[in-house]
Amino acid sequence: MAIEKLDSEDPEPSSRENSYEANSNSASLNSFCSKPTPDFSNTLLSLSQDIQNNILITKRASAKPAVKINRFPASENSREFLKKFYPGTSINEWNDWKWQVRNRIRRLEVLEKMIDLTDDERASVEKRTGNLPIAITPYYTSLLSKTDPHQPLRKTHIPVGGEFIKSLGEDPDPLGEDASTATPGLVHRYPDRVLFLTTGFCSTYCRYCTRSRMVGETNGEYSFSVSQWEKSAQYIEAHPEIRDCLLSGGDPLSIGDDKLEWLLNRLRKIPHLEFIRIGTKIPVVMPQRITKNLCKILKKFHPLWMSIHYTHPDELTPEAIEAANRLADAGIPLGSQTVLLKDINDDAEILKTLYHGLLKMRVKPYYLYQCDPVSGSAHFKTPVSKGLEIIRHLRGHTTGYAVPQFVIDAPDGGGKIPVLPDYVLGRDGDDLLITNYKNGVYRYPDPQGTTGNAQNYLRQNNFDLDKQNGLYKHN
C-alpha cells in the first residue's frame, strides 16, 4: 500500500488578496460601529457580526483542500531489512533509486553479512571477476533467503560452481547477436525490426544472463555511448523497412532521465519508426526507479510498450506492484518475459500463481523462454518437454490471458520459434480428431483437409500422444 501524506497547500494569491481585503473592510466596519448612534447601535453590531461570519465561511471555502501525495511504498520486509543492515539510512534514501544503485551488494564481505553462504557460493563469488560480476540491489537482496540456498530467488542471483562449467552446445553468444550487428550495439535480424543495445549496465545481474558476455568488465570489447546511439539512429533512418525498435541492454531503465528522454526523442523523430519497446527487469529488482517523473517522460513517446522480466511469484511485492501500476497508469502496455529455470519456476502451479498475479497488475504474460544455452547455464536448463508440459497444464485450466507463448530463441540467429503441445490426434475420413485440456476426443468436420495425416502415420508406427506434454512418443 502506498504511503500517503496530507499536505495542505497555501491559498492562491487571489485568495490571499481577497482575505486581506475582507479583513480591511471588517476593520473599517468595526471602527464605524465603535461609535454607534443610540438608535442603530444594536442593528449595526448584529450586521457586523453577520458579515464577519460570512467572510470567515468564504475564506474557508476559497482555500484549496488538502492534497494527497502518494509516496513510494516500502513493505514491512523492506523496513526490517533497512533497519537491520542500514540503520543510519532513512526510508526516503532507501526509496531513492540512485541510492539503490550506489549501494548494490558487490563484495563478498558485504554479502556475507546478509546471507549465510554455502562453501560453493562463497568460492564462486570470490572467483567471479570480469563479465557478469555479482551485483544485487539492497531492495532485491532483501527478498533473498538468508539461510536457504535452495530458495528460488537466491539461486538466480548468487553464483555457484556450475557457472564455470561450459557444457556441450553452450556459447558466450548463443543467439549469434554479434554476427547480426549492423552497427555497434544495433542488431538487425528480422526484416522490420531491430534490437537496440543501449548499455551494458544492469542494477542486478541474473546468473543465467544471455548477454553475460557484455555486462560488467569486458576489457573494452563492448562499450556504449551517446555517439554510438546516434549512429544506430542514423542506420534506422536509412532503412525505411524498420518499423519496430526494441531497446535493451543491459537495462535501458538504468539510464538517467535526461539521456533516456534524449534517446526516445531521437527515435521518435524517425517517421517510419512506428513502434518502440523497452525490455527491462528494473521494475522487479529496483522498482524505486519507476518515479513519477520517469512515467511522465515515457508517456510523451506513445506508442511505447514494455516487456518486463519476471521469474517467480516471490517478486510480486508491494513495491513491484506499485511500479507496474505507475507504468500502466501512464498508458504503457506491459508484457512479461519469464525464463524457464530448473528447480526455480519449472512447475505449472508456480507459474500459474505468477501469471495470475501479473494479470492483477495489468501485465500480460507474453513469453515463456526455454533457457538459452549461454556458457555456464546447464544447471538452470530444463528439458523442452517440461515447458510443453507446463503450457498444457495452463491451457484450459486458466484464462488464455494467463498463458504465454513458449518459445526457443534458436542458436546462431534463428530467432524465436514457438513450441506448442500437439492437440491433433489424427484424421478419420473427413473429420479432424482433436483433444482438449481434459483429454477428451472431438471431431471437427474438415472435408478435403490434410491436417492430421502426420499423426495418423505416427500412430500406425506405434507412436502415441503423451497426455502430459502433448508430444508423440514411441510405445
Handedness of CA 220, 222, 227, 231 (dihedral sign): positive
Residue of 128, 154, 193, 427 marked catalytic: 193
Cα distance from N-terminal residue to C-terminal residue, the chain: 55
Per annotation, catalytic residue among 209, 245, 355, 371 = 209
The one catalytic residue among 16, 59, 122, 190: 190
Q: What cell does 264 get?
A: 526516445
213 a catalytic residue: no
**Phi and psi (nearest 5°) for 292?**
-65, -35
- Active-site pick, 154, 206, 346, 381: 206
Closest alpha carbon to 295 in 257, 266, 337, 336: 257
Stated as kind and residue range, the H or E segment containing 464 is strand 463-466
Is 313:351 a contact under the CB 8 Å cutoff?
Answer: no
Element (H, E) at 121: helix 119-127
DSSP state of 447: T
d(CA 177, CA 33): 89
Q: Is 372 a catalytic residue?
A: yes
Q: Which of 139, 196, 99 is nearest to 323 (CA)?
A: 139
Pairing of strands 186-187, 415-418: unpaired
DSSP-H helix ranges across 238-279: 257-268
Catalytic (active site) residue 416: yes
Q: How far apart are CA 24 and CA 381, in angstroms?
A: 80
Q: In a 10 Å sphere around its CB, with 0-12 CB exposed, 13-18 middle and 19+ buried, how is residue 347 labelled?
A: middle
> For residue 338, which amino acid is it?
T
- In which order are the strands placed within the sheet that holds 431-435? 424-428, 431-435, 441-445
189 is catalytic: yes
User: Which uninterrupted H or E stretch holds 459?
Assistant: helix 453-460
Residue 190 bears catalytic tag: yes
Helix (H, G, I), strand (E, B), or coil: what is residue 290?
A: coil
Nearest to 470 by CA among 401, 370, 386: 386
Which of 189, 299, 342, 364 is an active site residue? 189
DSSP secondary structure code for residue 144 in this structure? S
CB atoms within 10 A of CB 410: 15
Catalytic residue among 367, 409, 422, 427: 409
Residue 206 known to be catalytic: yes
Query: Which member of 154, 155, 202, 326 is catalytic?
Result: 202
Q: Give CA 398 to chain center in angstroms.
A: 23
Alpha carbon distance 301, 279 (integer Å):
16
Which SS3 state, helix, strand or coil, does residue 419 take? Answer: coil
What is the C-alpha to C-alpha distance for residues 48 and 28, in angstroms, rounded to an integer? Answer: 10
Catalytic residues: 189-190, 193, 202, 206, 209, 211, 372, 409, 416
